[in-house]
């Protein structure tokens, strides 16, 4: 029985064998703690019939643990140098497949159709590179894929922002965007010491459970997203000022004021004090006034 990949000794042995050097530009930090991997996999609540999409498998530490629980694993790896490594480390798991591609450019709906069974329980499980965490998460959510949820290891600060509640300093447009599509829970904090190389900040495991229906109904989803992004454009500005400068124009100030009045929201408030429900009411009122 081979030792788990995610131990300091085995990781070092693999890296030395392949003469692998970390690329800073790819945000490569490999996990060397099996317990944390077990916790990530447990949070995904996989069954022997589950399918898993992974992003950035590295040398296969998390892939291995997922493959022990799931029926099929498809991992996207952008770094060509890791392909021979993964071929060896994942040899005991023929149901784990590596796609050499940038997940941000991939057609995920097509991948799911080709690689998984129709109606199969699907989860995304990944240790995401810090520098592309938000674009990857938003792609996974916005494309409305047939997945049950997402369990990811990300920068602790980003996990706080995604799961934040209104009125907190972490709460912003990312909180609303993610929570519109999914229920967000921070599962655990992970110290920098369990990675090689050691990142400068701590990480966290975040679980996003996809909602069947958004928590609010709006007339125009795209416009709703524009409204709250505009409201957070400058956190020091009031809601009214942010909306005039980033969504409408100075000439449309009366219309913006009318919409705020219609929505029963004081324009002197700051964006971070508004709940998603208030943004939904405001969005519909602004749509009506600005046309």
Structure confidence by residue, pLDDT tens digits, 244-291: 999 999 999 999 999 999 999 999 999 999 999 999 999 999 999 998
Would residue 168 count as lying in a domain? yes
Angle (CA) 23 170 42, round 5°: 65
Same domain, 36 and 164: yes
C-alpha dist (Å) from residue 183 to 83, 108, 137, 290: 34, 21, 13, 31
Q: What is the pLDDT of residue 22?
A: 86
Would residue 216 count as lying in a domain? no
Residues in a beta bridge with 54: 75
First-to-last CA distance in the chain?
Answer: 66
Q: What is the pLDDT of residue 1?
A: 58
Would residue 22 count as lying in a domain? yes
Would residue 107 count as lying in a domain? yes
Q: What is the pLDDT of residue 3?
A: 82
- Report whether 127 belongs to an annotated binding site: yes
Same domain, 49 and 127: yes
| Interval 32-57 mean pLDDT | 97
Q: Could you tell me which residue, 62 or 23, shows the higher pLDDT?
A: 62
Would residue 2 count as lying in a domain? no
| Residue 191 token pair | 């110290």
185 neighbors 207 (Cβ within 8 angstroms): yes
Read off the CATH number of the domain in which 284 is found. Answer: 1.10.8.100
78 neighbors 98 (Cβ within 8 angstroms): no
Same domain, 50 and 130: yes
Same domain, 12 and 76: yes
- Report whether 56 belongs to an annotated binding site: yes
245 neighbors 232 (Cβ within 8 angstroms): no
- Report whether 257 belongs to an annotated binding site: no
Give the domain-ending residue among 183, 210, 237: 210
Q: What percent of the chain has pLDDT over 90?
A: 93
| Interval 61-67 mean pLDDT | 97
Same domain, 201 and 94: yes
Read off the CATH number of the domain in which 170 is found. Answer: 3.40.50.150
Same domain, 205 and 130: yes
Q: What is the pLDDT of residue 136?
A: 97
pLDDT per position as a tens digit, 78-134: 999 999 999 999 999 999 999 999 999 999 999 999 999 999 999 999 999 888 999
Q: What percent of the chain has pLDDT over 70?
A: 99
**Is the pLDDT assigned to residue 27 strictly greater than 80?**
no
Instruction: Print the SS3 string covering the chain.
Output: CCCCCCCHHHHHHHHHHCCCCCCHHHCCCEECCHHHHHHHHHHHCCCCCCEEEEECCCCCHHHHHHHCCCCEEEEEECCHHHHHHHHHHCCCCCCEEEEECCCCCCCHHHHHHHHCCCCCCEEEEEECCHHHHHHHHHHHHHCCCCCCEEEEEEEHHHHHHHHCCCCCCCCCHHHHHHHHHEEEEEEEEECHHHEECCCCCCEEEEEEEECCCCCCCCCCHHHHHHHHHHHCCCCCCCHHHHHHHHCCCHHHHHHHHHHHHHHCCCCCCCHHHCCHHHHHHHHHHHHHHHC
Same domain, 109 and 196: yes
Same domain, 136 and 203: yes
pLDDT per position as a tens digit, 126-165: 999 888 999 999 999 999 999 999 999 999 999 999 999 9
Same domain, 179 and 241: no
Report the number of distinct structural domains present in the chain: 2
Confidence of residue 23 (pLDDT cuts 50, 70, 90): confident
Give the domain-ending residue among 168, 187, 210: 210
Q: Taking all residues of the chain, what is their mean pLDDT, rounded to a whole number?
A: 96
pLDDT per position as a tens digit, 160-196: 999 999 999 999 999 999 999 999 999 999 999 999 9
pTM of the model: 0.94
Same domain, 244 and 154: no
pLDDT per position as a tens digit, 252-261: 999 999 999 9
| Residue 111 token pair | 């991948």
Would residue 241 count as lying in a domain? yes
Helices 253-263/276-290 angle, 10° precision: 140
| Interval 225-244 mean pLDDT | 96
Same domain, 243 and 147: no
Give the separation between CA 229 and CA 72, rounded to whole angstroms.
37
Give the domain-ending residue among 210, 237, 262: 210
Would residue 215 count as lying in a domain? no
Would residue 1 count as lying in a domain? no
Query: Which residue range(s) make up the domain with 240?
Result: 221-290
Q: What is the pLDDT of residue 45?
A: 98
- Report whether 51 belongs to an annotated binding site: no
Same domain, 123 and 244: no
**Is the pLDDT assigned to residue 15 strictly greater than 80?**
yes
């Amino acid at each position: 029985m081979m030792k788990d990949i995610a131990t300091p000794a085995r990781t070092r042995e693999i890296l030395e064998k392949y003469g692998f050097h970390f690329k800073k530009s790819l945000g490569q930090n490999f996990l060397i703690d099996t317990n944390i991997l077990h916790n990530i996999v447990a949070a995904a609540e996989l069954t022997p019939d589950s399918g898993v999409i992974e992003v950035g498998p590295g040398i296969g530490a998390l892939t291995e643990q997922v493959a022990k629980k799931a029926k099929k694993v498809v991992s996207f790896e952008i770094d060509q140098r890791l392909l021979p490594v993964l071929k060896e480390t994942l040899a005991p798991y023929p149901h784990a497949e590596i796609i050499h591609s940038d997940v941000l450019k991939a057609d995920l709906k097509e991948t799911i159709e080709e690689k998984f069974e129709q109606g199969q329980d699907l989860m995304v499980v990944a240790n995401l590179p810090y520098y592309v965490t938000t674009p990857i998460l938003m792609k996974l959510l916005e494309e409305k894929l047939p997945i049950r949820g997402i369990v990811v290891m990300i920068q602790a600060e980003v996990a706080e922002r995604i799961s934040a509640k209104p009125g907190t300093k972490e709460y912003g447009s990312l909180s609303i965007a993610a929570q519109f599509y999914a229920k967000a829970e921070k599962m655990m904090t992970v110290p920098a010491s369990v990675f090689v190389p050691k990142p400068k900040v701590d990480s966290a495991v975040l679980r996003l459970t996809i909602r069947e229906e958004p928590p609010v109904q709006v007339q125009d989803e795209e416009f709703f997203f524009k409204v709250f992004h505009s409201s957070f454009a400058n956190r020091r500005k009031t809601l009214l000022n942010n909306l005039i400068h980033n969504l409408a124009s100075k000439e449309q100030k009366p219309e913006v004021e009318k919409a705020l009045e219609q929505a029963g929201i004081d324009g002197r408030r700051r964006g971070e004090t508004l709940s998603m429900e208030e943004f939904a009411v405001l969005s519909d009122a602004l749509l009506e006034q600005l046309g």
